[in-house]
Amino acid sequence: MERASAALREASPALLLLGLLAAAPFLGFGQGYTMTLLARAMILAMAAVSLSVLVGGAGLVSLGHAAPLGVGAYAVVALDAAGVTEGLVVLPGAAAAAALFALATGAVAIRTSGVHFIMITLAFGQMAFFTAGSLTAYGGDDGYTLYGRTELFGTRLLEDRLGFHWVCLGLLAAVLLLCRLLLASRFGRVLRASRENPLRVRAVGFEPYPFRLLAYALMGAVAGLAGALLANATEFVAPSYMAWQRSGDLLFMAILGGLGSLPGAVAGALAIVLLEEWLSELTEHWRLIFGPLLILSVLFLRGGLAGLPAQLGGLLRRG
């Protein structure tokens, strides 16, 4: 009973966020543009969650995580150009393509650590960015326009904003659950131990490299799935999906939410997407406000958004 209660308390932030997103269409957020904005936030949240697993769980700070996101998006483009639009083929295909990219690049990058790992992932991301720009068959630098969204069971469910909202929400819930189970498993424990002390992990009989590489490939697959959904959300794919700035955005979402906190990564993605939109409506110079706000959040939210309730509770007790 006590274990079940502890598990429920641990899962309550994720359940609260998912519940709010599920209720959003019925709480005055059912308008077309708002639904599109929430869908974009949930899609980026999936990618941020996968990066949070890498950074907080494995200690792999990647500045190239937008590359598998873009690979997933371009997999949709390639299949669309070939006349394949069924979601049961497109979505797994996008995830598999991104996983293969992450596996190939991670096999090299994970042999390094620290700043070297960051720079190698950045280099691979930029290579993917420039490669996408050279694909003239798929629009090159001008990008590729999807003339129809991916079908699901032969229906146009993803073209309906409410239907697309539920699909994104369901996949976000699945990603959160799978990542939580992964980190709670024996695999996840070895992964976290490898982050803290690789020498001790080797001493007890585990080699960190294959565990980190598999985690890197799995989280690449999650980013690829997010890329496929993002391609459908915008109905347009361009090399900018793989730009290092996008990787920086994802990394900051994970940091703002609280490193290692999966619900925090979702909260960070929602906060950044909604704050960007709100500030851009106030002024065309919104970045001059947005930047200092991000700096202040890093300085004063040491545990990220996930640690905010505990921080507020401590202030109230001292007050």
CB 176 within 8 A of CB 14: yes
From residue 315, alpha-carbon distances to 144, 258, 311, 319 in Å are 51, 19, 6, 6
CB 98 within 8 A of CB 221: yes
Average pLDDT over residues 59-86: 93
Position 130 pLDDT exceeds 70: yes
Model pTM above 0.75: yes
With bands split at pLDDT 50, 70 and 90, how would you rate the model's confidence at 226? very high
From CA 265, how far away is CA 253, in angstroms rounded? 6
Position 170 pLDDT exceeds 90: yes
pLDDT at 280: 81
Position 316 pLDDT exceeds 80: no
From residue 71, alpha-carbon distances to 84, 117, 194, 236, 307 in Å are 17, 20, 28, 14, 33
Phi–psi pair at 258, nearest 5 degrees: 115, 115
134: three-class secondary structure by DSSP: coil
CB 145 within 8 A of CB 77: no
pLDDT at 319: 56
pLDDT at 6: 56
From CA 276, how far away is CA 44, in angstroms rounded? 14
CB 140 within 8 A of CB 134: yes
pLDDT at 13: 83
From CA 276, how far away is CA 42, in angstroms rounded? 15
Matching residue, tokens 């873009």: 70
For the chain, what percent of residues have pLDDT higher than 70? 91
Cα dihedral 100/105/107/113 (nearest 10): -140
From CA 221, how far away is CA 198, in angstroms rounded? 25
